[in-house]
Chain A
Amino acid sequence: MSTGEKNWKCAKCDKQLVLKNTDFFYLGHKFTYDVLNCPQCGKVLIPKELAEGRMAELEEALEDK
C-alpha cells in the first residue's frame, strides 16, 4: 500500500503538510533533518520509510559506538 508522503494532511487543522527543519536526539547526539509537519499546529509526521530506513540506520550507527 502506498503511503506517499505528499498525500497526508493534518486532520486537526486541515492543512497540507510542509517540510520543516526539525531537531532529532538520540543517545546524547543531536542532529537536524527536514521532515513533514503541520504549518499550523506543528505536529510532526515521520513516514514509515524514514523510520525503518534512514532513522533505523542512524540508530544502529549510534548504538554501535
Chain B
Amino acid sequence: MKLEDATRYTEKCFNGEPASCSYACPFHLDIRSFLEKVSRGRWVPAYKVLRNAVIFPGIVSVLCDEPCREHCQRTLLGDEALAMLDLEAACIKYAKNTKPEFFAIPPKSERVAVIGAGVSGLACALNLAQKKYSVTVFEKESGWGGKLPNGERLSSHPRFADFDQDIALQFSAVDVEFRYGTEIKSLTELADFDAIYIATGKGGDSFGLLASWDAEMFTTSEPKVFMGGTLCGVSKMEGIAHSVQASKIMEAFLQTGKASLVNAQVYDKKNCERYLKHDGAVSVPRVIASSPDGYTEEEAKKEAARCLLCDCDYCIASCEMLQKFRKKPHKIAVEVATDMQVTGNLASRALTRQTYSCNLCGHCKSVCPEDVDIGALLQSSRTARKNAGGESYPAAFHDFWLREMDFAVSEGFLAATPNGKNECEYAFFPGCQLGAFNPDYVLKSYEFLSSKYDCGILLNCCGAPAYWAGDESLLNENMEKIKQAWNEMGQPTLVFACATCESIFNMFLPEIKRVSLYALLAEEEGISSIRPYDEAVVFDPCNARNNHGLETGVRKLATEAGISLHELKEPNRCCGYGGHIRLANSSLYEEIAQHRAEASDKPYIVYCVNCQDVFARRGKECSHILDLVFDLKKGLKVPTLDQKRANSVEVKKILMKKECGIDFEPETHEWDGLKLLISDEMQKDMENKLISAADLKEAIWQAESSGYKFYNESEGLFMCSMIKPVITYWVQYKEIAPQTYEIVSVYCHRIHFKEEVKQP
C-alpha cells in the first residue's frame, strides 16, 4: 500500500498535536508541555519551552491578553481556565538559569536590515542573529520600544524596566548592530542588504509596500523586502509571533533565494475548537495567590497541575489491542505502508501480529472525535497482504474459518422458495453459525417466518471469514453466488439473524433489501414467553452498532418476557470473536473475552451466536434472545466443532426436504465410520486448538490404510501425522477394537518440514 493511501486513514488523528489552547495562543506555545513541567517544579525546562515560543517572556507574560484561556478545556468542566500569565510570571521568577543559549555556528555573510525596534522588529532581529546572520536594526527614536495599543510609548509602561531587562537578557548572546536615531527614508538606502524586514509599528512607514503584503508569507512586491507586526494591523503579541514566522521564511529566502515555509510550520487556527469529552475528569477550582506578588512555587505547581494535559488518546485508552501494541495511530498507518513496501518472500513484515489482532469492531471510530477508523486501516492491510500473497502471508491465522466457510458455501448451501413457488417476498438468511449452534434457532425462526410471510430460505455464509482474512476474491465470488440465488428467488427482502451478516450485506450487496429477524419478531405482541432471569443486560454485538431497529427490537422482546433490563456502560464492544483474531493472538482474544464477560455481573441477553459461544464457554450466564422467544434454553451446552457441523447438515436436511421435497445426502468419507474415544479433557483441548474429531479420523484413516505411522511398543501407542497445506496435525492413539481408537494426544503446528517418503 502506498504511504499516502495508508496515512489517509489516520490523517485526522490529532494525538500528540498541540491542545486547543495552543492553537489559540498566537505563539502556539506548547502549553501542555509547559504546564506539565511547571506542575513538577521543573522551572528551567519550563522556561525554555516558554522562551523558545514567545521570544520575550518578560514582556509577553505581562502584555498578552491570554486568548488561550478562552479555549482552555478546563472551562468545559465549569472551572476557570488555567491562570496562564500568573504561571508564566512564576516560571520566570523561579527559573534559576534564564541565560539564552549560545549557538556555536559559524557567522554567515548575508546581511539583514530590520526597520523598527519595537518588539516585532526585535523578535525578527534576534531570531536571525541567532542563526548568525549579520543583523542591523534601524530605529528613528533614541531607544527600542515602539508603542502600546493606546498609542503611548512602551517606555511609559510601569513595568518597562522589567521589559528592558528582558530585552538585554535575550540579546546577550548575539551580535546585533543597533542604529538608534536613524530614520530610513527610502529603501534604496539599504541596497547593500540581502534582506529587509519592515516593522515600523501601527501607522508606520511601509515604503508604499503595504498593499502588496502577503499575510501568509510576509512578502511584499519587492523580492527581498518582508514586512510584519502591528504595521500590518495585528495585535502586539501577534506581531511578535508574525516576526518569528517571518524570520523563518526570510531564512529560507537567504538560503535559497526563494521565500518558503520549509523552516516554518503553519497552524490551523480552527483547531482551537477541537475539544475532548473529558468524561470522568473532576472539577478543581483555580488556585488563588496568597500574596500580591504572585504565586509561590507550591501555588504555581498546584495551579499548573489543574491542566488536563488535553491530548486525544481515546481509541488507545479503550481498546485492548491498541494498548497491547502501544503504537499511535499515525505510526500504525506508516507501518501499514512500509509493511507492503517490503519486497520478496524472504523479507519479514513490519506488523503481522497487530494487523491480525484487530477485532475490526468499529469501536475506535465510535470514540474518535474525528471518526478515525483504525480497524478499516488494518482491514485494508489484511487485504493488501492477501493480494500480495507469497510465502510470507500468514495463512494459518484464518485457515480454520476459511475451511468452515468453504463448507457453508458448498455443502451447506441451500436456496429454496416456499411451497413450490418460483419466487418469494422474503427469504431467511440465518448465517452459517446460528443453526450450527442450535438447529432450532433456524428451524423455529423459519417456522415463524413461514407462518407470517411469503418466506423462503437461503443457507449460506455471508463471507465474513473471507472479509476478515482480507480475501477479496473469495468474498466477491460468494457475493456473486448469493446475488444469483437472490435474483432467482425473485429478489426477496432478506431476513437476518446475525448482525455481522447484515453489515457485510450492507457493505457489499447494498441493493438487497434487509430486515432483522428480531425486528419482525418484535412486531408480534407478547411473542416472547420465557423469562430465564429477572434482571439482565443486553449485550449488543459490535456489528449492531448504529443498527437501531435491531437494538430496539431485541430490547422490546426481552422486556416483554418480563426481564428488567440494564445497559452496559460501553455498548457494542466486541466479544472477542470479531476479525477472527483467536488464532493470531490467543492471549489477547482471551483477555478481551474475559473483560466483556466481566462488564456486568448480570446475565447477558445476546443476539449473536458468536457472542453466545464466547460467553457460554467462559461460564458466563447468558441466553440468546431466541431462547426467550421460542423457549429453547434447556441446558444446552456449547456444541463441539463436530456437533456444529452435524447441526448445519441437519438444518439443511430438514429445510431441503420441507421446501424441495428432496432428501439431502451429505458428502461421505471413508473415515466417517471410525469410532473415536475422546475424554472430556481431550475434547476441551481439541476445541481450544480448533481441531475437530473429523480431522483426527481422516488422519488415522490415512495412517491405517497406508501403514505410515509410528509405534510405541511399551505403551501400545500409535502416532501419525496429517500434513495439510497450512497446518500439520498429529495424533497419538490406541486401537481399542477394530476401527475404534482412543485418542491419547493431539497437537498441530504451522511450521512445515521437508519429508521425502520412500516406498520401503
Across the interface, do B745 and A48 meet the contact criterion of CB distance under 8 Å?
yes
B508: CB under 8 A from chain A?
A: no
Question: Top 8 closest A-B pairs, CB basis?
Answer: A65-B348, A28-B391, A11-B711, A28-B345, A23-B754, A28-B392, A12-B707, A26-B751
Classify the secondary structure of B's interface with A: loop
14 A-B pairs with CB atoms under 8 Å apart are A1-B744, A1-B745, A8-B711, A9-B711, A10-B710, A11-B718, A23-B754, A25-B751, A25-B752, A26-B751, A44-B753, A45-B710, A46-B753, A63-B352
Across the interface, do B712 and A8 meet the contact criterion of CB distance under 8 Å?
yes
Across the interface, do A3 and B394 meet the contact criterion of CB distance under 8 Å?
no
- 15 new A-B pairs (CB below 8 Å) besides A24-B751, A43-B755? A9-B710, A9-B711, A23-B754, A27-B348, A29-B348, A41-B759, A42-B755, A43-B710, A45-B719, A48-B745, A48-B747, A52-B747, A55-B749, A58-B751, A63-B353
Across the interface, do B353 and A64 meet the contact criterion of CB distance under 8 Å?
yes
Task: Find chain A residues with CB under 8 A from B753 CB.
Answer: 22-25, 35, 44, 46
B757: CB under 8 A from chain A?
A: yes
A56: CB under 8 A from chain B?
A: yes
Tell me the bound Cα distance from A52 to B586 in angstroms: 14
B707 to chain A: closest CB distance in Å? 4
Hey, what's the 0/1 contact readout for A2-34 against B, CB within 8 Å counting as 1? 110001111111000100001111111100000
Hey, what's the 0/1 contact readout for B343-383 against A, CB within 8 Å counting as 1? 00111111011000000000000000000000000000000
Q: A51-B747, A52-B747 are in contact. Are A41 and B760 (CB under 8 A)?
A: yes
Tell me the bound Cα distance from A6 to B592 in angstroms: 42
Tell me the bound Cα distance from A55 to B751 in angstroms: 7
Which B52-85 residues have a C-beta within 8 angstroms of A?
Answer: none
Hey, what's the 0/1 contact readout for B727-742 against A, CB within 8 Å counting as 1? 0101010000000000
- Name the CB-closest residue of B to A27: B392
Q: Which of B352, B714, B751 contacts A64 (CB 8 A)?
A: B352
Tell me the bound Cα distance from A1 to B285 in angstroms: 68
Which B positions have Cβ atoms within 8 angstroms of A?
Answer: 345-350, 352-353, 390-394, 396-397, 584, 706-715, 717-719, 721, 728, 730, 732, 744-745, 747-760
Tell me the bound Cα distance from A48 to B747 in angstroms: 7
Across the interface, do B754 and A62 meet the contact criterion of CB distance under 8 Å?
no
Across the interface, do B391 and A59 meet the contact criterion of CB distance under 8 Å?
no
Task: Find chain B residues with CB under 8 A from A1 CB.
Answer: 715, 744-745
Which A positions have Cβ atoms within 8 angstroms of B?
Answer: 1-3, 7-13, 17, 22-29, 35, 37, 40-46, 48, 51-52, 55-56, 58-59, 62-65
B23 to chain A: closest CB distance in Å? 39
Across the interface, do B394 and A27 meet the contact criterion of CB distance under 8 Å?
yes
Across the interface, do B760 and A28 meet the contact criterion of CB distance under 8 Å?
no
Across the interface, do B709 and A12 meet the contact criterion of CB distance under 8 Å?
yes
Across the interface, do A59 and B751 meet the contact criterion of CB distance under 8 Å?
yes
Task: Find chain B residues with CB under 8 A from A51 CB.
Answer: 730, 747-749
Task: Find chain B residues with CB under 8 A from A52 CB.
Answer: 747, 749
Tell me the bound Cα distance from A65 to B353 in angstroms: 7
Task: Find chain A residues with CB under 8 A from B747 CB.
Answer: 48, 51-52
Across the interface, do B707 and A28 meet the contact criterion of CB distance under 8 Å?
no
Across the interface, do B730 and A7 meet the contact criterion of CB distance under 8 Å?
no
B731 to chain A: closest CB distance in Å? 10
- Name the CB-closest residue of B to A26: B751
Task: Find chain A residues with CB under 8 A from B396 CB.
Answer: 59
Across the interface, do B756 and A3 meet the contact criterion of CB distance under 8 Å?
no
A40 to chain B: closest CB distance in Å? 5
Task: Find chain B residues with CB under 8 A from A65 CB.
Answer: 348-350, 352
- Name the CB-closest residue of A to B397: A63
Tell me the bound Cα distance from A22 to B391 in angstroms: 19
Task: Find chain A residues with CB under 8 A from B349 CB.
Answer: 65
- Name the CB-closest residue of B to A10: B710
Task: Find chain B residues with CB under 8 A from A45 CB.
Answer: 710, 719, 721
Across the interface, do B758 and A41 meet the contact criterion of CB distance under 8 Å?
yes
Across the interface, do A11 and B730 meet the contact criterion of CB distance under 8 Å?
no
- Name the CB-closest residue of B to A12: B707
Across the interface, do A29 and B353 meet the contact criterion of CB distance under 8 Å?
no
Task: Find chain B residues with CB under 8 A from A58 CB.
Answer: 751
Across the interface, do B710 and A26 meet the contact criterion of CB distance under 8 Å?
no
Tell me the bound Cα distance from A16 to B683 in angstroms: 32
Task: Find chain B residues with CB under 8 A from A24 CB.
Answer: 751-754
Across the interface, do A41 and B708 meet the contact criterion of CB distance under 8 Å?
yes
B743 to chain A: closest CB distance in Å? 12
A26 to chain B: closest CB distance in Å? 4
Tell me the bound Cα distance from A42 to B710 in angstroms: 12
A14 to chain B: closest CB distance in Å? 8
Across the interface, do A7 and B390 meet the contact criterion of CB distance under 8 Å?
no
- Name the CB-closest residue of B to A37: B755
A49 to chain B: closest CB distance in Å? 10
Task: Find chain B residues with CB under 8 A from A64 CB.
Answer: 352-353
Tell me the bound Cα distance from A24 to B712 in angstroms: 25
Tell me the bound Cα distance from A26 to B754 in angstroms: 11
B357 to chain A: closest CB distance in Å? 10
Task: Find chain B residues with CB under 8 A from A56 CB.
Answer: 749
Q: Which of A8, A17, A22, A59 contacts B750 (CB 8 A)?
A: A59
Task: Find chain B residues with CB under 8 A from A10 CB.
Answer: 710-711
- Name the CB-closest residue of B to A50: B749
A45 to chain B: closest CB distance in Å? 6
Task: Find chain A residues with CB under 8 A from B397 CB.
Answer: 63
Q: A41-B759, A55-B751 are in contact. Are A2 and B352 (CB under 8 A)?
A: no
Task: Find chain A residues with CB under 8 A from B744 CB.
Answer: 1
- Name the CB-closest residue of A to B346: A28
Across the interface, do A9 and B713 meet the contact criterion of CB distance under 8 Å?
yes
Across the interface, do A7 and B714 meet the contact criterion of CB distance under 8 Å?
yes
Tell me the bound Cα distance from A52 to B347 in angstroms: 25
Task: Find chain A residues with CB under 8 A from B711 CB.
Answer: 8-11
Tell me the bound Cα distance from A7 to B584 in angstroms: 34
Across the interface, do B749 and A44 meet the contact criterion of CB distance under 8 Å?
no
Tell me the bound Cα distance from A42 to B713 in angstroms: 20
* Residue among A23, A28, A51 with max Cβ neighbours from chain B (10 Å): A28
Tell me the bound Cα distance from A65 to B757 in angstroms: 33
Across the interface, do A28 and B751 meet the contact criterion of CB distance under 8 Å?
no
Across the interface, do B755 and A44 meet the contact criterion of CB distance under 8 Å?
yes
Q: A1-B745, A42-B758, A51-B730 are in contact. Are A11 and B752 (CB under 8 A)?
A: no
Task: Find chain B residues with CB under 8 A from A40 CB.
Answer: 758, 760
Q: Which of A8, A37, A55 contacts B719 (CB 8 A)?
A: A8
Tell me the bound Cα distance from A22 to B757 in angstroms: 13
* Residue among B349, B353, B719, B750 with max Cβ neighbours from chain A (10 Å): B750
Q: A42-B756, A45-B719 are in contact. Are A11 and B352 (CB under 8 A)?
A: no
Tell me the bound Cα distance from A63 to B713 in angstroms: 38
Tell me the bound Cα distance from A44 to B754 in angstroms: 9
- Name the CB-closest residue of A to B350: A65
Task: Find chain B residues with CB under 8 A from A63 CB.
Answer: 352-353, 394, 397, 584
Q: Which of A11, A28, A62 contacts B709 (CB 8 A)?
A: A11
Task: Find chain B residues with CB under 8 A from A37 CB.
Answer: 755
Q: Which of A12, A13, A23, A46 contacts B730 (CB 8 A)?
A: A46
Tell me the bound Cα distance from A41 to B755 in angstroms: 10
B739 to chain A: closest CB distance in Å? 17
- Name the CB-closest residue of B to A31: B751
Task: Find chain A residues with CB under 8 A from B758 CB.
Answer: 40-42
Across the interface, do A28 and B715 meet the contact criterion of CB distance under 8 Å?
no
- Name the CB-closest residue of B to A59: B750
